[in-house]
Amino acid sequence: MGLFDDFAKQRVFAVQEFTLLSSRALGNVFRSPHYATDIVRQMDFIGFGSLPIVVLTGFFTGAVLALQSANTLSTFGETSLTGQLVMLSLVRELGPVLTSLMVAGRNSSGMASELGSMVVSEQIDAMRALGTDPSKKLVTPRLVATVLMLPMLTIISDFMGLLGGFATSFFIIRLNPGQYWYSAYQSLEFEDVFQGLLKPFVFAFIVALVGCYYGLTTTGGTQGVGRSTTQAVVAASVLILVSDFFLTKIILWLLA
């Protein structure tokens, strides 16, 4: 019972700490000082740095999606709808979720390990001793940069997925290129774009805040840094998938 109590207390305490960190990081957006250089540096690291994995993931997801869907659609003699299926699957779900998962794998872990190393080497304490609030200097720039970059990366990933789907349709399934692009374009509606961009916006908060939270709460030296890094990736990935379900439910309810 005691063990259960301790575990429950730790979890509640973690939620409280995470909520406090999140509210401080958000509040800092409206409080000076603002670290514009750090935001730009993080945008470069998170946005430009994640480009190769996002491009590759998007392209091959679209390619395999076209391959699988064409196989099923051919049963009904509707392979011409491949473009539509690829487009909707990518824009509504796979683009935002896979891009966020990839960015979480790369950046939540990066944030957790960088901030964790700063904690164990007392750099965070030194920063506070020198009059800088670590949540302003370290967390808010990462949050702002991720919120700005993740939707853009998702758009790029969606586009690359469409290209991948087109490559499969044209070179393997031998579909008419015009047919692919026409069915893809015609199927897209405002609601799809809306949810396709709202999701990465929400996921960006998870990627940045989870990474920073695990980094800043690191204990136990270098071993602790490794543990925080793993926990950050696992927690961010699970939270993205879970929140995707609820977000989709809410969006569908709103749009209905």
Partner 1 sequence: MTERLAQETVVEFDRVTLRFETKAVLREISFTLQRGETKIVLGAAGSGKSVLLKLTMGLWQPDSGRITVLGEEISHRGEDELFVVRRKIGMVFQEGALFDSLTIGENVGYVFERLPAVSPEEAERRAREALRFVELEQTFDLYPSQLSGGMRRRVAIARAVVGQPELMLYDSPTAGLDPITAARIMTLIVKQRDVGRVSSLLVTHRVQDAIQMARSYYDARQENLLPAGQDGARRDTHTRFLVLREGELVFHGSLEELAAQRDPYLQEFLA
Give me the residues that bind partner 1 (CB under 8 A), please. 33, 121-123, 125-133
Q: How far is the CB of 177 from partner 1 (least distance, A)?
A: 48
Distances (CA, A) of 85 to 165, 174, 210, 224, 226: 10, 17, 33, 44, 40
Q: Whole-angstrom Cα distance, residue 201 to residue 150?
A: 7
- Please, what is the end-to-end C-alpha distance for the chain in angstroms? 46
Report the residue number, 42 or 183, with the smaller CB distance to partner 1.
42
Q: How far is the CB of 233 from partner 1 (least distance, A)?
A: 22
Q: How far is the CB of 117 from partner 1 (least distance, A)?
A: 8
Report the residue number, 35 or 180, with the smaller CB distance to partner 1.
35
Q: How far is the CB of 126 from partner 1 (least distance, A)?
A: 4
Peptide bond into 33 cis (omega under 30): yes
Report the residue number, 77 or 131, with the smaller CB distance to partner 1.
131
Q: Which two tokens stand for residue 79?
A: 């392979």
DSSP secondary structure code for residue 123 in this structure: H
Q: Whole-angstrom Cα distance, residue 92 to residue 148?
A: 19
Report the residue number, 131 or 178, with the smaller CB distance to partner 1.
131
